[in-house]
A and B are shown apart, each in its own frame.
Chain A
Amino acid sequence: QKEVEQNSGPLSVPEGAIASLNCTYSDRGSQSFFWYRQYSGKSPELIMSIYSNGDKEDGRFTAQLNKASQYVSLLIRDSQPSDSATYLCAATNAGGTSYGKLTFGQGTILTVHP
């Protein structure tokens, strides 16, 4: 079982719609969760971090965390073609020396079509 799992997609949504990206994790010791966006041939760009249960909103992005279900999601409202990218979910464990290590999912490819 992969530690962090994402549906690889591709997920295709029309411009202006809400894109919903999902992620599950297997390590109950995971404490911090991150969403990165990666354009083809570029490096990952941090877009959201979330540490406690519930929702966290930043502009058009909302991250949701449910530790009981070991589930993290990212909603992108009013999707734009420029949002087309691979979205990476990552988790880190707060314990021991592994707290520095980000474990990434395989990424979900999002395509927003005009």
Chain B
Amino acid sequence: NAGVMQNPRHLVRRRGQEARLRCSPMKGHSHVYWYRQLPEEGLKFMVYLQKENIIDESGMPKERFSAEFPKEGPSILRIQQVVRGDSAAYFCASSPTTVDNEQFFGPGTRLTVL
């Protein structure tokens, strides 16, 4: 059973470009979560999605950031007009249910903004 998959693993963008981060949850998992880890800081929740629905986006910056989890295909975290402060590791996690809420993390995408 493959784990959570994320791609790309490393992404370099220049200021003002767009970044698209992809996440495929573990097989049988319908709950997807995105977290961000800034250098020297802890993991911060960004957004929680189920298929075609955003359940909780309380951790998402108000501008430039969006997320989706379409009926078919991976979940996408999109950052428009990136700035240097967006440089971070972005982790996706998935869970099969929210009863126990054990979340399993993917390898992450390291975003560097030049």
Contact = CB atoms under 8 A, between A and B. Distances in A.
A23 interface: no
Contact-residue size bin, chain B (C-beta under 8 Å from the other chain): 20 to 34
B102 A44 contact: no
Interface stretch (B14-22, B62-70, B76-84, B103-111): B103-111
Contacts of A92: 101
A67 to B, nearest CB: 17
B55 A97 contact: yes
B42 A107 contact: yes
A52 B42 CA distance: 25
A56 B38 CA distance: 32
Contacts of B104: 46
B98 interface: yes
Contacts of A104: 35, 42-44
Contact of B43 (A49, A88, A97): A88
B100 A101 contact: no
A98 interface: yes
Interface string B46-67: 0010000001101100000000
For the residues of A in contact with B, the DSSP-based class is mixed
A106 B42 contact: yes
Contact of A100 (B42, B43, B98, B105): B98
B23 to A, nearest CB: 12
Nearest to A6: B42
B100 A32 contact: yes
A101 B45 contact: yes
Nearest to A90: B43
A34 interface: yes
A51 interface: yes
B102 A100 contact: no
Interface of B: 31, 33, 35, 41-45, 48, 55-56, 58-59, 91, 93, 95, 98, 100-108
Given A36-B105, A102-B35, 15 more contacts: A34-B102, A43-B108, A44-B105, A88-B43, A92-B101, A97-B56, A98-B58, A99-B98, A100-B31, A100-B55, A100-B98, A101-B33, A101-B45, A101-B48, A102-B33
